[in-house]
């Protein structure tokens, strides 16, 4: 059964005719300079709730899991983060696109989201780094978006009911018709999306953080030492690669389906398991590879999906969160020191399934889910959050130094043994 949103409905959405200049208030003029050119758009959730708004970005129909991000900045990094593959992102900050887009803030080669939802959008960005408006950027990359809806009501809906599939369309404006497509789409649980975002070839990454933006005096090549790191690409963000390079690592990126044997042929000092989208329990090959790599006793470090894959390889289970953690102000800690972290994940490790050889190092202080772990005897650790930021605070950047320190200790121990 279809239900309409019971939240506030923008006045102009109640009038199906295009908003003319005579009807437009001064406040609305900046949001849309030519509303007569804006197509009506429809958002329908899997439970039948529907929202009518206006299109920005590409036209057409898209289906994905509807989630929300609470960050007040960093929309371009969010849109291009491969971890959002398969999802339609609701931005809770009411103004989107004010600073436009630029090539430097892309976390991958293109937007990875299925769609975008906003309250207001800006068609005339104002920023010295901007090269393109957000609507034009999404149009160019064939990503549909809807704006003009009550994103506060939608966010409350997701918090109360949970993340669910939804669809955005500019061509299907009958809610019942769009609902049928939404309900036929597979749910995120059990979905392996890694093949959609992983690299198909091996490559070496050399770019560091721009010296003008470097925020950590601990980086800067770490005294000229070089450590070879093989990074399994489950959907890796570029800024993770930059931080590894800035900390003196030679980074070799390999496809997610690379075997443990092929990884060890690179003779790495350390192994990195990247972030990525979908259900970690469905990434069976990645979990098996991580399990085999544990026997090498090489230093291993995982972030987000990599953290979950590492936990699964150590015998833990995962479960799906009701609405996930997506934002830039998630507190994490355990021993009295709190880090404010950037997070983006739908799943978490189960604490009652961890083996005795695994120690929890961080908890999400909002809901006490596992945010970090380490092995008690092996040089292996991971975090659920994103220490590379981009967007987000830099509180946890020291995690990269910890990885480098573990590789240095392993190298020293190997030299002493020989």
What number of helices (H) and strands (E) belong to the chain?
A: 11, 20
CATH code, residues 194-417: 3.40.50.880
> Which secondary-structure segment (H or E) carries 120?
strand 120-121
Distance between CA atoms of residues 66 and 275, nearest Å: 19
Q: Give the residue ranges of the annotated binding site for L-glutamine.
A: 83, 276, 278, 305, 308, 344, 347
Q: Yes or no: say if 308 and 347 are a contact pair by the CB < 8 Å rule.
A: yes
Catalytic residue among 325, 345, 362, 386: 386
Q: Give the residue ranges of the annotated binding site.
A: 83, 276, 278, 305, 308, 344, 347
Per-residue pLDDT of 142-162, as tens digits, reads 999 999 999 999 999 999 999
The residues spanned by each domain of the chain are 40-184, 194-417
Q: Is 386 a catalytic residue?
A: yes
pLDDT value for 225: 82
Per-residue pLDDT of 302-349, as tens digits, reads 999 999 999 999 999 999 999 999 999 999 999 888 999 999 999 999
Distance between CA atoms of residues 44 and 200, nearest Å: 35
Q: Is 261 a catalytic residue?
A: no
Catalytic residue among 106, 249, 304, 362: 304
pLDDT along the chain (418 residues), means of 10: 41 34 36 57 98 97 98 97 98 97 97 98 96 97 98 98 98 98 97 98 94 69 81 98 96 98 98 98 98 97 98 97 97 92 97 92 96 97 96 94 96 88
Asked whether the bond before 70 is cis by omega within 30 degrees of 0, the reply is: no
0.85 cut: is pTM over it? yes
Q: Pairing between strand 203-205 and 249-255? A: antiparallel
Distance between CA atoms of residues 294 and 276, nearest Å: 20
Q: Pairing between strand 144-147 and 115-118? A: parallel
pLDDT value for 417: 86
Distance between CA atoms of residues 14 and 148, nearest Å: 11
Long-range contacts of 205-208 (CB under 8 A, 24+ apart): 205/231, 205/241, 205/244, 205/245, 205/251, 205/252, 205/253, 206/245, 206/251, 207/238, 207/241, 207/242, 207/245, 208/242, 208/245, 208/246
40-184: in CATH 3.50.30.20:
yes
Q: Is 77 a catalytic residue?
A: no
């Amino acid at each position: 059964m279809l239900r309409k949103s019971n939240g506030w409905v923008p006045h102009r959405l109640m009038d199906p005719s295009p908003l003319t200049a005579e009807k437009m208030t001064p406040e609305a003029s900046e949001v849309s300079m030519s509303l007569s050119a804006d197509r009506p758009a429809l958002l329908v959730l899997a439970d039948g709730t529907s929202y009518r708004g206006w299109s920005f970005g590409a036209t057409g129909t898209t289906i994905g899991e509807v989630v929300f991000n609470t960050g007040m900045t960093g929309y371009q990094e969010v849109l291009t983060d491969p971890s959002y593959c398969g999802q339609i992102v609701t931005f809770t900050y009411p103004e989107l696109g004010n600073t436009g887009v630029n090539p430097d803030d892309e976390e991958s080669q293109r937007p990875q989201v299925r769609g975008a939802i906003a309250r207001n959008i800006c068609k005339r960005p104002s920023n010295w780094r901007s090269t393109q408006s957000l609507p034009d950027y999404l149009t160019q990359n064939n990503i549909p978006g809807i704006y003009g809806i009550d994103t506060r009501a939608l966010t409350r809906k997701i918090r109360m009911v949970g993340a669910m599939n939804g669809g955005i369309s500019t061509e299907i404006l009958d809610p019942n018709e769009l609902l049928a497509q939404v309900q036929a789409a597979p749910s995120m649980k059990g979905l392996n999306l890694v093949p959609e975002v992983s690299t198909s070839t091996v490559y070496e990454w050399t770019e560091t953080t721009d010296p003008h933006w470097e925020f950590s005096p601990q980086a800067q090549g770490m005294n000229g030492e070089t450590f070879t790191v093989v990074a399994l690409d489950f959907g890796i963000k570029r800024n993770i690669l930059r931080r590894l390079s800035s900390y003196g690592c030679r980074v070799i990126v390999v496809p997610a389906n690379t075997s443990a044997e092929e990884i060890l042929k690179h003779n790495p000092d350390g192994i990195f398991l990247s972030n990525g989208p979908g259900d970690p329990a469905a990434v069976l090959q990645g979990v098996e590879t991580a399990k085999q790599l544990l026997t090498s006793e090489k230093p291993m470090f995982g972030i987000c999906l990599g953290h979950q894959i590492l936990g699964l390889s150590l015998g833990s289970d995962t479960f799906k969160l009701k609405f996930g953690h997506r934002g830039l102000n998630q507190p994490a800690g355990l021993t009295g020191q709190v880090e404010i972290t950037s997070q983006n994940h739908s799943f978490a490790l189960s604490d009652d399934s961890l083996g005795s050889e695994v120690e929890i190092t961080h908890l999400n202080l909002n809901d006490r889910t596992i945010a970090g772990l380490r092995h008690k005897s092996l040089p292996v650790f991971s975090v659920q959050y994103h220490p590379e930021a981009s967007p987000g605070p830099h509180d946890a950047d020291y995690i990269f130094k910890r990885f480098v320190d573990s590789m240095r200790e392993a190298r020293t121990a190997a030299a002493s043994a020989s």
